[in-house]
Structure 1
């Protein structure tokens, strides 16, 4: 979240050609490519509208191969099992329904924070950031635990979306962003990603990391249109 773990992606590109392509992704037009988006997150500034986002099924199918390997790729113990991955999907869908936050956005933030590894380590740079969403002093973590219980997977997702007693999650930050940018569409979601990463936002320039990850909002926008392994062009 505010103090993000550095996700190691060495070796991911090498297996990119082995990832399955789906006919639905081709039809929809999502693609594993990266566009460096700049500015305020609006469609006028060139950022993708929600209409350009992949469907849930397309984005889920594109990211499952990463979730299957991300723990070991990053040097953590124990890749996600099929049942753990299914529990992630169930938790995202349930939390999206209860909070009103788009399930695709939750997926994109989760992949940005942890690559979907249920055993992701907890970071601490003044605030502990545990679990799949690297939430703000959250209670959910399966670091060192295998298998990860479905109840803990649900807690990790809920901590990041609904928030914790110590800090806001995506739901509250989205409401804040909607008020700042004056709409409830994709621009508000991109501003939310900046708030989630940095704790505050320069709403005119979402690439201003304010001490955190400069490319975070651009990364999330690309994840929502199918980016997984292609080389980032953000700088």
Structure 2
């Protein structure tokens, strides 16, 4: 059972709904369910009432960045078993497909980053976490200098890529049909292509 920092837990229906939403969304994007599960666990430990991270800028199970007045889906502060499946599904979809505000650019999801990075799952994970890849040869690098101002800034969580990778290569909790991922030799397993059909990425 998943517990949040406020001492509450996901209800049994909510926990099932998270796994179902991951399966439906990952299959629709033709990416492995285990990748989506690992990212959700990294972002929110799968807690449907996850608080707002990044000083209030991130929301939901996938801690998607708010890009405008349109806030990504969230069940923050709802009662146990009061988070509906439709909202849980939307939170997972925000992380996979991205969140588009009505007046701003989209916050890209992992399904955007995978093909952009040629199927390299580690670089895609870094892009998801930081919004860019500062150094493709050092995915722990999160410090950059703005060439226009010369100011240094920090983007993302330094250990994010290795943390998600460790979750993916660990025990197959909750999704028994999902294979353990080899992040080096099988990156194309995680890229949607024309031959992919629903369920093929299980």
2:38 to 103, 108, 119: 108
1:95 lines up with 2:30 in the alignment: no
1:142 lines up with 2:75 in the alignment: yes
Distance (whole Å) between structure 1 residues aligned to residue 164 and residue 8 of structure 2: 26
Q: Structure 2, unaligned stretches of length 5 or more?
A: 101-105, 144-153, 173-202
Asked if the contact 1:77–1:119 (Cα under 8 Å) also holds between the matched residues in 2, the reply is: no
Distance (whole Å) between structure 2 residues aligned to residue 219 and residue 209 of structure 1: 15
- Please give the residue correspondences for 1:51-70 in structure 2 after superposition, counting only pairs within 5 Å: 68-70=1-3
Asked if the contact 1:76–1:119 (Cα under 8 Å) also holds between the matched residues in 2, the reply is: no
SS in 1 for 2:99: coil
Distance (whole Å) between structure 2 residues aligned to residue 194 and residue 79 of structure 1: 29
Distance (whole Å) between structure 2 residues aligned to residue 82 and residue 172 of structure 1: 31
Q: Identify the structure with the greater strand proportion.
A: 2
Return the offset for 1:77: 4.7
- Please give the residue correspondences for 1:2-81 in structure 2 after superposition, counting only pairs within 5 Å: 68-71=1-4, 75-81=5-11
1:177 lines up with 2:117 in the alignment: yes
RMSD of aligned residue pairs (Cα, Å):
1.8
Per-residue CA distance 1:12-35 (angstroms, 9 max, x = gap): xxxxxxxxxxxxxxxxxxxxxxxx
Runs of at least 4 residues of structure 1 off by over 3 A?
none
Asked if the contact 2:2–2:45 (Cα under 8 Å) also holds between the matched residues in 1, the reply is: no
Bigger mean CA deviation after superposition, 85-94 or 211-220: 211-220
| 2:188 matched residue in structure 1 | none
Distance (whole Å) between structure 2 residues aligned to residue 133 and residue 69 of structure 1: 15
| 1:199 matched residue in structure 2 | 131
Q: Identify the structure with the greater helix proportion.
A: 1
Alignment TM-score, normalising by the size of structure 2: 0.69
Return the offset for 1:78: 2.1
- Please give the residue correspondences for 1:214-233 in structure 2 after superposition, counting only pairs within 5 Å: 214-226=158-170
Change (3 A) 1:208 1:172: same
| 1:152 matched residue in structure 2 | 87
Distance (whole Å) between structure 1 residues aligned to residue 34 and residue 28 of structure 2: 14
Return the offset for 1:227: 6.7
| 2:177 matched residue in structure 1 | none
Alignment TM-score, normalising by the size of structure 1: 0.60
Asked if the contact 1:76–1:120 (Cα under 8 Å) also holds between the matched residues in 2, the reply is: no
Distance (whole Å) between structure 2 residues aligned to residue 77 and residue 128 of structure 1: 22
Asked if the contact 1:130–1:140 (Cα under 8 Å) also holds between the matched residues in 2, the reply is: yes
Change (3 A) 1:216 1:70: same
Distance (whole Å) between structure 1 residues aligned to residue 163 and residue 139 of structure 2: 11
Aligned residues: 149
